[in-house]
Chains A and B, each alone.
Chain A
Amino acid sequence: MNETVPLPPLKTTMRQVFTLLAIALIASTTLQAQDGGRKIPAVEIKALNGASFNTGSIENDGNPIIISFWATWCSPCKRELNTIAEDFVDWQDETGVKLVAISIDDARNMHKVKPYVDGQSWEYEVYLDPNADFKRAMNVNNVPHTFLIDGDGNIVWQHNSYQPGDEHELYELVEKLAAGESIN
């Protein structure tokens, strides 16, 4: 069952890896602006009350949407969502933005999500993605990972990680989207 294949010389494999990385980097830059806009993929996930929910139906009447991937064990994620929660009512009043928080907690912590969300009194739409199906479809590697969706339903911006102050940059972009401007 355990067959080992002799490795090619290090130089050859290093060259292959660098070629691969170069391809990936080129791909990542050239693929940013694809024709037709990037829509939210349709994946079946769960609502907090156990109902099925299709991510393709995430919409906000032409207003901007924030999609934020988080987990109950991710401290920066909770910091981000709790910090935004402090000003979220104002954000909603000024821009009509909706925040969809997708928890990637698996069966170990899935049942603690609703108590946590209610305990923190979040005004977000929270869903459960216990086997990372939506996370994979959105190409998320680590949490926190936040996406911005414009009024036409296109994914126009994404950001990985969180530190205090990032919510200001996020809100400036939300304001731009609400005003109908485009983000680079």
Chain B
Amino acid sequence: MKQLQLLSSTFLLVFLCTQTLTAQDEGGGLLDGLQIHGNFDVYGQQYNKDSIIGAPVVPQKSGINAFTNLIATKGKFTAGVRIESYLPPVQGFDVRYGNQPIGVPFRYATFKQDGLEVTAGNFYEQFGNGLILRAYEERALGIDNAFDGIRVKYSPYKGVYLKGLVGNQRYYWQKSDGIVRAFDSEFQLNELISQLETRALRISLGGSVVSKFQAGGTSSLKLPENVAGGAGRFQLNWKDFGLMGEYAYKANDPTKSNHYIYKEGQGLFMSATYSRKGFGVNISAKSIDNMEFRSDREAGLNDLFINYLPALTRQHTYNLAATLYPYATQPNGEVGIQGDLIYKIKRGSKIGGKYGTTIQINVSLINALKRDYYTSENIDTANALLDQQVYLDADPGRKGYKTNLLNIGDSVYYRDFNIEIDRKFTKHFKLKATYAFQEYNIALIQNKVSDNVVAHIGVVEGLHTFGKKHSIRWEAQTLFTDQDQGDWIFGLIEYGYSPHWIVTILNQYNYGNKVEDLRVNYPTAQVTYIQNALRMSIGYGRQRAGIFCVGGVCRNVPAANGLTVAITSSF
């Protein structure tokens, strides 16, 4: 019944749109000036049996994820809707998406006038860097913690930006138990203070307060029902220099994932930048302790996060560097530093060559935060005691442990050193070479019993163009390691016929696996057709089990064998 209602309302909406087009000269009030635009995305995968690669057996033999967004605007009003469908969810997406085959999990209406904007319904929002609040979507990962409630944005004066919101969060096809109330203010001093308007120094300051309410659960502990947090931030820009800092604080928030401790949480994120034409450098540092902030104290995995803790590592794009050992932020505690440098050797110079050469170097180091537990020196013992949810003599305040943001621990979580050189040799040939060294705490991040994985990765990518329309792009990658699955090799060739066709063939081979039976090939072929904003691709082959990450949030991609179909469009 619900599905019938939603289908008929969609049909009605589309019917209205088509009527708009035929009623062009008739004025018409409501329909006059109404614009409707949207997009859709369908991804389907077919699953064959393939026990050698460890592909899970899928009884339905296929999965389809689809969604369509529609946005209607007229003057000061905007309304939008998203229809999602999982039939069943593609492997690797949370199975709870399959609790409903089709539905409308996102709908809103917004009114905007002068400096005021009011939204009722679902919305996404970010305060500063997201350290204390970020509701966002990452459809490829199945991440969606949208709010459902009311949001008001108001700018009472030039340079002053205020936001207030209240709502529950999305939990697959349901809503969170907890309610979030939040307020953010941002002051752009150069707009606000007339003497600073034309100065080279740009200053912006911001402050946020966030509070969540969740009725006390069943526990022998007295769990706080209201938990508050806040953050302060600043950003300075002066000529070629930039400096940014944000500090976030969370009051006691006993949750399942932090073993019900009453310790406060803190996070600090800083970034310094210097750049001018042909050269840029960025150094950033981050330290977080007990900063997982969710609207449900029992939630786990990637569910119901109120905030977002960015990973401080390079987002790799090459297959072997990006999907085998990618780092995921450890919200319960980590400290790290990253440096990024880009330098373009001038064209026409001896080393630069005719067209110039670009060099990029990146280094990141992430360690645990050192913790002194009150009840035991062993972390697992201490956590087991805390999980009993009783008051402990050795730790009467149930703080769990002692630490500070600068207490760098010995445990290495991640190391990444990489260098990339990019050079155009002739009008029709470009070459890019990359070397990466990664050390990865696989026991912590993937729960595998192993020492840290130490890997050396080499990639060469070439691009040849022929005339104005044809191109061939190829990649050759290798990964050397003594741990986990051993050495890999990867090859890819892509032929492009601009603007409509792309054909890709790729293969990965785990030639160095200690287990001979697991030295497997993963070949795939894919054809893509593009017509302006419409993109359709069909592929067939084997997909290696791996991890797909966007922004430091990752999801597991299970091994698979079969057909894949992807269609996206915008209108």
The one of B33, B39, B535 in contact with A161, judged by C-beta atoms closer than 8 angstroms, is: B535
Closest beta carbon of chain A to B68's beta carbon, Å: 5
Q: Report the minimum CB–CB distance from A67 to chain B (whole Å).
A: 13
Interface centre among A44, A108, A136, A138 (most CB of B within 10 A): A108
Binds A, one of B3-11, B370-378, B401-409, B554-562: B3-11
Give the shortest distance, in Å, between A37 (CB) and chain B (any CB).
9
Q: A17-B64, A17-B87, A163-B471 are in contact. Are A140 and B570 (CB under 8 A)?
A: yes
Let me know if A118 and B130 touch, CB within 8 A.
no
A137 and B117 CA atoms in complex are apart in Å by: 15
Residues of B within 8 A of A21 (CB): 40, 42, 66
Chain B residues with CB under 8 Å of A29's CB are: 571
A94: Cβ under 8 A from any B Cβ: no
Question: Which A residues between 113 and 171 are near B, CB-CB below 8 angstroms?
Answer: 114-121, 130-133, 136-142, 145, 157-161, 163-166, 168-169
Question: B18's contact among A30, A38, A142, A165, by CB below 8 Å, is which?
Answer: A30
Which A residues are in CB contact (< 8 Å) with B139? 141
- Within 8 Å by CB of B130, from A5, A106, A141, lies A106
Q: Scan B269-287; emit 1 where CB is below 8 A from any A CB, else 0.
A: 1010111111111101000
Give Cα distance in the complex from A29 to B463, angstroms. Answer: 35
A144 CB → nearest B CB, Å: 11
Given A51-B188, A119-B280: A160 touches B242 (CB 8 Å cut-off): no
Q: Which of B338-346, B445-453, B505-513, B539-547 contacts A (4 or more CB under 8 A)?
A: B338-346
Q: Which of B73, B129, B186, B471 contacts A164 (CB 8 A)?
A: B471
B35 contacts A116, C-beta separation under 8 Å:
no
In Å, the complex CA distance between A74 and B237 comes to 26
Q: Mark A78-116, 1 if CB is under 8 A from B, else 0.
A: 010000000000000000000000000011111110111
Considering the chains assembled together, what is the distance between the CA atoms of A160 and B41 in angstroms? 13
Find out whether the CB atom of B277 lies under 8 angstroms from the CB atom of A23. no
B215 at the interface (CB under 8 A from A): no
A133 to chain B, nearest CB (A): 7
* Stretch of B218-226, B255-263, B310-318 on the interface side: B310-318
Which chain A positions have C-beta within 8 A of B177? 1
Contact B134 A4, beta carbon cutoff 8 Å: no
Asked whether A108 and B315 contact (CB < 8 A) given A17-B85, A21-B40, A33-B21, the answer is yes
Asked if A3 and B40 sit within 8 Å, CB to CB, the answer is no
Query: Closest chain A residue to B88 by CB distance?
Result: A7
Contacts A30-B17, A139-B37, A139-B570; is A16 near B7 (CB within 8 Å)?
Answer: yes
Whether a CB of chain A sits under 8 angstroms from the CB of B417 is no
* Stretch of B96-104, B480-488, B518-526 on the interface side: B96-104
**A16 surroundings in chain B (CB, below 8 A):** 3, 7, 101-102
- The reply to whether B340 and A115 form a contact with Cβ atoms under 8 Å apart is yes
Query: Please, which residues of chain B bring their CB within 8 A of the CB of A166?
Result: 498-499
Kindly list chain B residues whose C-beta atoms are within 8 Å of the C-beta of A121.
277-278, 344
Among residues of A, the one whose C-beta sits closest to the C-beta of B461 is A75
> Smallest CB-CB separation from B130: which chain A residue?
A107
B315 touches A73 (CB 8 A): yes
In the complex, are the beta carbons of A23 and B87 less than 8 A apart?
A: no
Task: Tell me the smallest distance from the CB of B567 to a CB of chain A, in Å.
Answer: 9
Which positions 1-50 of chain A face chain B at CB distance < 8 Å?
1-5, 7-8, 10, 13-14, 16-17, 19-21, 23-24, 26-36, 38, 41-42, 44, 49-50
Residue from A72, A115, A168 within 8 A of B315 (CB atoms):
A72
A5, A24, A158, most chain B CB atoms within 10 A: A24
Q: State the Cβ distance, B545 to closest chain A Cβ, in Å.
A: 22
B530 touches A168 (CB 8 A): no
Task: Kindly state whether residue B413 has any CB partner on chain A within 8 Å.
Answer: no
B468 CB within 8 Å of chain A: yes
What is the chain B residue whose CB lies nearest that of A167? B498
- Interchain residue pairs with CB less than 8 A apart (16): A3-B99, A16-B101, A17-B102, A24-B68, A27-B571, A30-B17, A51-B202, A106-B551, A107-B126, A107-B551, A115-B281, A118-B278, A132-B124, A137-B71, A160-B535, A161-B535
Residues of A at under 8 Å CB distance from B?
A: 1-5, 7-8, 10, 13-14, 16-17, 19-21, 23-24, 26-36, 38, 41-42, 44, 49-52, 72-75, 79, 106-112, 114-121, 130-133, 136-142, 145, 157-161, 163-166, 168-169
Q: Beyond the given A35-B21, A118-B278, could you list 9 further A-B residue pairs with CB under 8 A, ordered by the A residue number?
A: A1-B174, A7-B98, A10-B87, A34-B36, A36-B35, A111-B282, A139-B571, A142-B535, A160-B533
